[in-house]
Amino acid sequence: MHPVAPEPPRPERGRTAGERPREVSEAQQAVETAPTWTARAIAALNPRFLLSQADGYPVGIKQFLQFCLVLVYPAWLFCVLLYWPLWVIGKVLEGILWVLFWPVRAAFSGRR
């Protein structure tokens, strides 16, 4: 019979997604923490922000995604410039749907 070794320490467990700090790239952090709407749009125009969207993917796939993101960069610039008018159009559409669906909400809301 072998001598009994002392008990090994309990191995450290990992952390769940909720317990981990959020991982965002510097470029994305700059967009999220920009104080004003214009500063935010300018930070979003930085090509590093677009390239950082491929972060975390396996090697190969990441480079392919970055290649695709470079291709769509002009379209991305166009979208950022159109952001404000698109947002306004979206809000108008939301308002129209809100009025249109008023009777449906009135009929179905609540338990009574």
Partner 1 sequence: MGLLRRAPRADLRLEPPGPYRATDMVSVAVTLPEALDAVVSARVELGYVNEFRYVWTGAAGGSNPGTAKDGEAWVQVLEEPLPVTAGVLAAETRLVTFRLPSWSPGSSERAVRWQVRLRVDRRGRDVAVDVPLEVLVAAPEPTPDRHDLPLVQGERASANSIAFDVTTERTCYRPGDQVRGVLGLTAREPVTRTALVAAWFQKLHLSHPLDKQPPAQPSESFTPRPMIDIAKDVQLVAEQRVELPFVLPLPAGIDPTTEAVHSSLTWNIEFKVEFSGLTGAIERAQLPIVVHTD
Q: Which is nearer to partner 1, 37 or 64 (CB)?
A: 64
CB 101 within 8 A of CB 59: no
CB 56 within 8 A of CB 24: no
Query: Which 42-101 residues touch partner 1, going by CB under 8 A?
Result: 53-58
Look at phi and psi of residue 8 and say left if phi exceeds 0, alpha if psi is from -120 to 50, else beta.
Answer: beta
Q: Which is nearer to partner 1, 23 or 100 (CB)?
A: 23
13 binds partner 1 (CB under 8 A): yes
1 binds partner 1 (CB under 8 A): yes
CB 40 within 8 A of CB 34: yes
Residues near 73 by beta carbon (within 8 Å), at least 6 away in sequence: 47, 50
Three-class secondary structure of residue 55 per DSSP = coil
The piece of 18-26, 39-47, 73-81, 90-98 that touches partner 1 (CB under 8 A) is: 18-26
Q: Which is nearer to partner 1, 10 or 100 (CB)?
A: 10
112 binds partner 1 (CB under 8 A): yes
103 binds partner 1 (CB under 8 A): no
Query: Contact positions toward partner 1, by CB under 8 A?
Result: 1-2, 4-5, 7-8, 10-20, 23-24, 53-58, 108, 111-112
